[in-house]
Structure 1
Amino acid sequence: MAQKINPARRLFIIINTIVLSFAAIVAIIPVIHVIMASFMHPVTLSQTYGLILWPKDFSLEGYAAVFKTTQIWTGYLNSIFYVSCAVILGTFLTILGAYVTSRRGLFWNRYIMLFISFTMIFNGGMIPTYLLVSKLGWIDSPLAVIVPLCMNAFNLIIMRTFFQGIPESLEESANLDGAGRLRILFTIMIPLAKASIAVIALFYMVFQWNSFFQAMIYLQSQEKFPLQLVLRMILIQNQATAASQGSSGGYNRLLAESVKYGTIMVSIIPMLAAYPFIQKYFVGGVMVGAIKG
């Protein structure tokens, strides 16, 4: 016999479904607009106002203008390298920090976590950070882009909460069998935390992929620019070219608008392609890491 749902629970489900559906529509519509606009002819795009749900005049001129710059492939490779390093190093450091701070016997554990949580609200500031990076000799070095983004307090707290939810008896049994801390971490804790680790890796991947401000400040050589900085450069160059030609550069001004949508799509396609492979871990990993067992 099917269990009856409490009326209050049913009302909550209905309201929750409506609110989440509305939020999903609000989030998806701008993406659809950008996708459709990126495939429209520049002239037609300039004559179209409001929301675009289907390309009226199919064209790839915007993408052609983006990809004619050979540096975009270097930007892709640089971004993949930066993201790979940040994900591997950041996830590894987060696991180590979360495991250590999740142990009850850690001296001054509460104060350490208070200090880590404090960094979520306040940081050293842009100028002190720049001076530190400069003193380390990391100006125009990939280290300036990778290392500062390799630890996030929020990610550490999620992993720490998951480790705290693992029964201590499991670790005690491993200790009785002669296992040390590192062996327990790598053979017991990490295999149990696959879902949370996948979520943490996704957070680091998205954050590093979308980051361009640090690269803009610290990197000087164009061959080291990540994709986002290359796309920004392409967009600015197209807009500057159109503006410099004045009234005679009407088509270039229209093309600059298509290039804008094309650069947006080029930057989000890799993340859209990678997300489905991690989605099955996402909800479970966040929930497991957010609720202390």
Structure 2
Amino acid sequence: MKETNGQKVFRVINAIILVLVVAITLFPFLNIVAQSFSSTGAITAGKVGLIPNGFNIRTYQVVMSDKTFWINYWNTLLYTVVGTAISVALTTMYAYVISKPQLKGVKIFTTLAVFTMFFSGGMIPTYLLVKQLHMINTMWAVILPGALSVYNMLIMKAFFQNLPVSLEEAAEIDGLDTFGILWKIVLPLSKPIIATMILFYAVANWNAWFGAFLYLDKKELFPVTIYLRNLMAGATSGSSASDMSADSQQQVNANIKAVTMVLTVLPILCVYPFVQKYFVTGIMLGSVKE
């Protein structure tokens, strides 16, 4: 069909709006990257825009030579990988069960899950529960309390409900049990939604800091977000900064936050393009019921 004048105008205006949104979204991040490579004077004078002013990498050298930073970085990677694996497994199993209306008690389990979206025990009871379970100062205190997102589970439930029932019935006739159907039939067909869940949980685990702030006291267990939080709160840049000259110390203090932000965000930015193609597909398939 030939495109009308109104459609052409809409397409142009829509493109302009999207370009503006992208520019507004990218500017703060590009400004932080530019600051991380800029000199003290340029940062203090507010002369840094999208391009570094007074290029230097001194702060990168200091941060990347700090052992505490790399220990916390490894902790974040560990928490993200283990936490995402546990969360995706729990979400998949729970969503698959409640997607079967013929099972007894499905409405009860769905109601219990949805109830937690509106009401929770609160921070103090949660802390006491974690303490009684002897998870304080362990990685499980960071991973397990928020392992299952009800919102993600409901999206996955809707996706499972859209799968053809005939496939599972045929697999059952062929002799597969419930776990066999889930593993050999359902999961291979659910790659878009699983990739979407991995993205959701990985980003959430990578950026999480409040749980670690509450439940961890040992610095060697902190995620890198706590390292960044301490810097933002005015803490020192690390043991590597103690032997520097006054000029070098001033430079580090000027853009230490920008450097740490860039190093913290970089890995998740590298992962996102590989799963982004599944994002829209997974959300649409999990939210639209035929």
Normalization by structure 1: what TM-score? 0.89
- C-alpha separation in 1, matches of 2:168 and 2:5: 44
> What SS does the corresponding residue of 1:55 show, helix, strand or coil?
coil
Task: Say whether 1:67 aligns with 2:43.
Answer: no
- C-alpha separation in 2, matches of 1:11 and 1:291: 29
Q: Identity across aligned pairs (percent)?
A: 35
Correspondences of 1:133-212 after superposition (within 5 Å): 133-212=130-209
Conservation of the 8 A alpha-carbon contact between 1:86 and 1:149: no
- C-alpha separation in 2, matches of 1:286 and 1:16: 22
TM-fit CA distance, 1:78: 0.9
Normalization by structure 2: what TM-score? 0.89
> What SS does the corresponding residue of 1:292 show, helix, strand or coil?
coil
**Which letter maps to 2:33?**
I
Greater shift, 156-165 or 55-64, is seen at 55-64
Q: CA RMSD in A?
A: 2.3
Deviations, residues 161-217 of structure 1 (Å, cap 9, x unaligned): 110000111111111112111111000110000011011011111000100111111
Conservation of the 8 A alpha-carbon contact between 1:41 and 1:61: no
- C-alpha separation in 2, matches of 1:7 and 1:176: 56
TM-fit CA distance, 1:250: 8.7
> What SS does the corresponding residue of 2:180 show, helix, strand or coil?
helix
Deviations, residues 219-241 of structure 1 (Å, cap 9, x unaligned): 11111111111233345323899
Correspondences of 1:52-91 after superposition (within 5 Å): 52-91=49-88
Selected match of 1:273 from 247, 270, 275: 270
Change (3 A) 1:179 1:23: same
- C-alpha separation in 2, matches of 1:140 and 1:201: 26
TM-fit CA distance, 1:65: 3.0
- C-alpha separation in 1, matches of 2:157 and 2:53: 51
The gaps in structure 1 that reach 5 residues or longer are 242-248
Conservation of the 8 A alpha-carbon contact between 2:63 and 2:237: no
TM-fit CA distance, 1:13: 4.1
Deviations, residues 231-288 of structure 1 (Å, cap 9, x unaligned): 33345323899xxxxxxx7975563230010111011011111112212212211221
1:38 — aligned with what?
36
1:222 — aligned with what?
219
**Which letter maps to 1:194?**
K
Aligned length in residues = 283
- C-alpha separation in 2, matches of 1:183 and 1:118: 31
TM-fit CA distance, 1:87: 1.0
